[in-house]
Amino acid sequence: MRLKGVVLLACLTGAYFGVGQDVPAKADQEKVLIALTTVDFGTVYAEDGAGDGTVTQKGQIIGSGPNLKPDARVKAVVDLGQSAIPLLIEHLDDPHPTRVLFNGRPTPLGHVALDILSHVVRPTSKIFIPDCADDGLGACFQPGYYFRPDASPSQMKAVKSAWQRAYQSSAIQFEYPHWWK
């Protein structure tokens, strides 16, 4: 009976991740995410009223419409698929500075992780405000699921806890960015 369970798990894992596609080891996943601390995107997040900058929209525009060849380092994180979600959640309180700027200061890796995470989960009313047309930093997030790029460590930890609970309850699922080609 135990062997049947192992075989079933192997089949399901193969179907989920794709035949021949291995999930990188945790240490390799960490390296992919930590690599984002060296990427110089300049100023991405701003309090200019729009406040909707994202590293997921940095890259090369291809043709017309929402067609973007994303930055390779951001794409490497997203290409982890479903395993990107717990990795990004784990780093939501990561204070390591990145080269992404906010008000002239480095943005912590935790905020970059939040940025990517919010663009690779299927929209759900648990995390996002439905039919929201607001603009600005944190617009359209339900309370407790967003922190600013200059948030305190305690604010980052609180948001991390909310995302962890949502993930543990299966309220969030991975969704590849539709504007990437």
Return d(Cα 108, Cα 88) in angstroms, integer.
13
Q: What is the mean pLDDT of residues 140-145?
A: 95
Contact (Cβ atoms closer than 8 angstroms) between residue 84 and residue 28:
no
Residue 19 is predicted with a pLDDT of: 38
pLDDT band with cut points at 50, 70 and 90 for residue 2: very low
Residue 49 is predicted with a pLDDT of: 59
Return d(Cα 161, Cα 167) in angstroms, integer.
10
- Per residue in 99-139, pLDDT tens? 988 988 999 999 999 999 998 999 999 999 999 888 888 88
Residue 16 is predicted with a pLDDT of: 38
- Per residue in 39-84, pLDDT tens? 888 788 888 755 567 787 776 555 555 556 778 898 999 999 999 9
Residue 125 is predicted with a pLDDT of: 94
Each domain of the chain, given as residue ranges in start order, spans 25-168
pLDDT band with cut points at 50, 70 and 90 for residue 170: very high
Residue 4 is predicted with a pLDDT of: 40
> CB-based contacts of 54: which residues, under 8 Å, 6+ apart?
44, 115, 119
Beta-bridge partner residues of 180: 68
Q: What is the mean pLDDT of residues 29-38?
A: 91
pLDDT band with cut points at 50, 70 and 90 for residue 28: confident
User: In this model, does residue 147 exceed pLDDT 90?
Assistant: yes
Average pLDDT, the chain: 81
- 113 backbone dihedrals φ, ψ, rounded to 5°: -60, -45
